Amino acid sequence: MSALLFLALVAAGGIGAGILGALTGEGGGILLVPVLVLLLHVNLHNAAGASIIAVTMTSTAATVAFLRQGYTNIRVAMFLQLTSIAGGIVGALLAAFVPVQALMIVFGVALLYSAYLSFRRKEEAEVDRPSDPLAIRLGMESSYPTVDGWKLYTVQRVMPGSLLMGVAGIFSGLLGIGAGAANVLVMDQVMKLPYKVSTTTSNFMVGITAAASVGIYFRHGYIDPFLTMAAVIGIFAGALVGARLLMIVRAKLLRLLFSSLVLIMALEMIYKGALSAQPGG
């Protein structure tokens, strides 16, 4: 395949991954990796390197729009980022001593089950409860734009959310997978945030989380300039489109898209588990 044709195909995949990544707050890696590996026959190492940069791009480009629209909750983002990034570092250090393949299956099943719960959640049918006192003390309560104007929301169970994020961070560091899905699930299921606040706040976080692992990929020579360029250009365009779409898409549809992506992710994990694609692995 000539470089030009390859560029066009990767960029097209990037556009799709960028749209879905920005919409679901996952970053786009879940979709980009199988497109590169299964359709374009890129090896897993280079695909992972391109994907980690692509997620950084989705997060940055979409955050510009989400901050302006007023969805992102920066306080929740930073609070969860703390345990998530710390867990990620611990997980990466543990990876050499732990049976990673078995854990992939455990984590995959946990993800699938929580994605199912997330798909079923009906926010509008829930009774309004006051926020966790800690959330009030940390100034996490906020409002977000809806079709009926700005709507206040409460924040539940801050410490359980933070701890769970740490566990998810350890798993993502161990298994070399993105933390976006776990971000959304913790905010949606534990902290009971509105769905669009969860996805956009996750979107803010994934760029920082992904950037933390770029160093190791870069030093191990996983980041191929040409391949990553093609993915990043596509993702950039896709993320801009996705960020604009978020305002008009219904939360129910977002839940469906997100759950479908998590399903793909579980399958990816089994595939990766069989081939062991982590740096140094």
Partner 1 sequence: MTLVMRRLERLIGFVLLVGVLLSAATVLLGGVLFLWRHGSTPVHYRIFRGEPSDLRTLLGVWGDVMKGSGRGIIQVGLILLVAVQLVRVLLTGILFLLSRDKTFVVITTVVLGLLTYALFYAGR
Residues that bind partner 1 (CB under 8 A): 1-4, 6-7, 36, 40-46, 53, 56-57, 60-61, 63-64, 67-68, 72, 74-75, 78-79, 81-82, 85-86, 88-89, 92, 138-139, 142-143, 207-208, 211-216, 218-230, 232-233, 236, 279-280
3-state secondary structure of 149: strand
How far apart are CB 195 and partner 1 at their closest, in Å? 20
Phi, psi of 142 (to 5 degrees): -160, -170
Compare residues 68 and 252 and give the one whose CB is closer to partner 1. Answer: 68
> How far apart are the C-alpha atoms of 178 and 209, rounded to whole Å?
8
Compare residues 52 and 111 and give the one whose CB is closer to partner 1. Answer: 52
How far apart are CB 265 and partner 1 at their closest, in Å? 22
How far apart are CB 47 and partner 1 at their closest, in Å? 8
242, 20 contact by CB (below 8 A) = yes
How far apart are CB 84 and partner 1 at their closest, in Å? 9
How far apart are CB 184 and partner 1 at their closest, in Å? 19
Compare residues 191 and 266 and give the one whose CB is closer to partner 1. Answer: 191
How far apart are CB 127 and partner 1 at their closest, in Å? 25
Compare residues 203 and 259 and give the one whose CB is closer to partner 1. Answer: 203
Compare residues 6 and 119 and give the one whose CB is closer to partner 1. Answer: 6
> Which residues partner with 150 through β-bridges?
145
> How far apart are the C-alpha atoms of 228 and 224, rounded to whole Å?
6
**Nearest CA among 119, 140, 115 for reference residue 193:** 140
121, 254 contact by CB (below 8 A) = no
Compare residues 133 and 225 and give the one whose CB is closer to partner 1. Answer: 225
How far apart are CB 111 and partner 1 at their closest, in Å? 23
Work out whether strand 142-146 and strand 149-153 pair parallel, antiparallel, or are unpaired: antiparallel
135, 155 contact by CB (below 8 A) = yes
> How far apart are the C-alpha atoms of 113 and 102, rounded to whole Å?
17
Compare residues 52 and 262 and give the one whose CB is closer to partner 1. Answer: 52
**Nearest CA among 79, 47, 77, 48 for reference residue 63:** 77
> How far apart are the C-alpha atoms of 108 and 102, rounded to whole Å?
10
